[in-house]
Structure 1
């Protein structure tokens, strides 16, 4: 399946730091301290990405994470009530995230890492359940994997060679 390339420079991206971890490496001369930042960026209008930044200082790690996330933007199919077009399950590593569409007024029912991704994507009505590993990085990437696989009714109709009304019925 061919993915369209999204130009991050043309979008107004917001960022949200999901986690910051202190990583220590023991070497001959002592301990080397570094920081790892998991950052999610999105425009709130169907574009979202996640990235990992590593540096000796926290602000630098966040900046690198934001740059990495902007390189990995995906386009998310949204329906009329700012939900997803159909239910889907995203898997990454040991994490599984079940994404279920929801009617208007439901809100975002999701755990921390998945909630960050969904809010940055502009989804306002959805129910999710995180299964398996609760590792923040894997949950974020499983959520992105699920969102990446979603197809709009128009896209399904085009792939099947049918009218949109036939697909929705």
Structure 2
């Protein structure tokens, strides 16, 4: 009996879009100890994104490096999240994320700041399409923990529309300037 390829047995293959970029964050040689000695394999951590607000990460392990990277990229494409961005260049507000002993602080930044972030976090922001952000890693410097803490912060970030809806206000009421409030208060007291 001849078996057909795995994709052909009722599983729809996910469409591979060319607008998604992938970045290899880390590759690590790992060992499994067996009776005859050690079996070496490679573990890869990959971040993918469309540079328009969607980003994902994945880990893959295999005996060969290219296969580990392929598995990680496949998992990353399946685990993509959408992140709301301000003006398509930065975050709406400052965020914090935790994973294990890792903690990351992500801050929105004015235009022209650039991506000020270390290693794994830089790959996330470049894939996401953020051009102005300041990020700091506190605690664990393990790339897996840094990526997972960053994704935890980004996944829990609410868009202005969600915040306004939760508070029962209009979006314009969220972004009123403080000077406008002071001027309105001055008019009430003077008028």
List structure 1 segments (4+ residues) > 3 angstroms apart after TM superposition: 7-11
After TM superposition, give the deviation of residue 158 of structure 1 in Å.
1.9
- Work out the CA distance in 2 between the residues paired with 1:138 and 1:11: 28
SS at match of 2:121: helix
After TM superposition, give the deviation of residue 166 of structure 1 in Å.
1.1
SS at match of 2:131: coil
Larger Rg: 2
- 1:22-101 superposed matches below 5 A: 22-80=29-87, 82-101=89-108
Give the TM-score normalised by structure 1: 0.92
Partner of 2:152: 145
After TM superposition, give the deviation of residue 159 of structure 1 in Å.
2.2
After TM superposition, give the deviation of residue 34 of structure 1 in Å.
0.5
Q: May I ask how many residue pairs the two structures share in their alignment? A: 163
Cα-Cα RMSD: 1.4
Q: Is residue 8–residue 70 contact of structure 1 (8 Å, CA) maintained in 2?
A: no
- Work out the CA distance in 2 between the residues paired with 1:68 and 1:158: 33
Which protein has greater RCO, CA pairs closer than 8 Å, 6+ apart?
Answer: 1
Is it true that 1:124 corresponds to 2:158 in the alignment?
no
Partner of 1:17: 24
